[in-house]
Amino acid sequence: MRRLGYLQLDPISTVAPPQHLVLFSRLGLAYDRAELDRLLWQDKQLFEWSAFLWPRESLPIVLARMRRRNQHTGAWRQRVSDFLTANEGFRRYLLRELRPETLARPLRRAGSPLGAERWRLVGHSQRQPHPRNVAPP
C-alpha cells in the first residue's frame, strides 16, 4: 500500500472488489484478502477518505486536501448551488426522505417532486434530464 500511495474503493465487483484485484495483480498468489481487512480494521494502518484507502502516513496530506476542498468555490459548487436553488422542492423532498424515521420505508412516488413535477438541471446546457432519470407521473 505504501508504494501504491492509495487504493480506490468501488462497491461494484463483477469478479471481485477492485481494491482486491489491484493488490492481487501486484502480488499474485501471495496476496491475502484478510490482510487488507486487518490493516484497515484491526491495526488501523489504513484509513478511508473519498472512496480511497490511504496509508496512515498519508494523513497530513489528506487533511490538507480536506481543508482545500472545504475552501473550494469552483464551478462544481456553483452548479450544485444553482441546482438546489432551481429545485427547492426536490431538495426538501430528499431531506424529508433521508430523516432516520423515514429511511425504513420505501421512497414515495406519487406526490413527490419526482412525480408530477419535472425537475430541471441547471448547468452548462440548461437542458431537461433524460426521461429515464425522471420518475413517471
Binned average pLDDT, 10 residues per bin, the chain of 137 residues = 83 81 88 89 90 92 83 75 87 82 56 45 45 47
Asked, for residue 86, whether it belongs to a domain, the answer is yes
Same domain, 87 and 110: yes
Query: Is residue 117 one of the residues assigned to a domain?
Result: yes
User: Residue 123's domain spans which residues?
Assistant: 73-133
Q: What is the pLDDT of residue 60?
A: 92
Classify residue 2: in a domain, yes or no.
Answer: no
Q: Are 72 and 95 in contact (CB under 8 A)?
A: no
Instruction: Write out the three cell numbers for 37.
Output: 481487512
| Residues 79 and 121 both lie in one domain | yes
Quick one: cell of 120?
430541471
Q: Are both 103 and 126 inside the same structural domain?
A: yes
**Distant-in-sequence contacts of 119-126, Cβ < 8 A, 24+ apart:** 119/86, 119/87, 119/89, 119/90, 120/86, 120/87, 121/83, 122/79, 122/82, 122/83, 122/85, 122/86, 123/79, 123/82, 123/83
- pTM for the predicted model, two decimal places: 0.50
Q: Is there a single domain that holds both residue 61 and residue 96?
A: no
Q: What is the pLDDT of residue 46?
A: 92
Given 39, 68, 97, the domain boundary residue is 68
Please tell me the predicted confidence (pLDDT) of residue 102: 65
Say if 37 falls within a structural domain: yes
Give the domain-ending residue among 68, 98, 116: 68
**Per the domain annotation, does 1 fall within a domain?**
no
Q: What is the pLDDT of residue 54?
A: 92
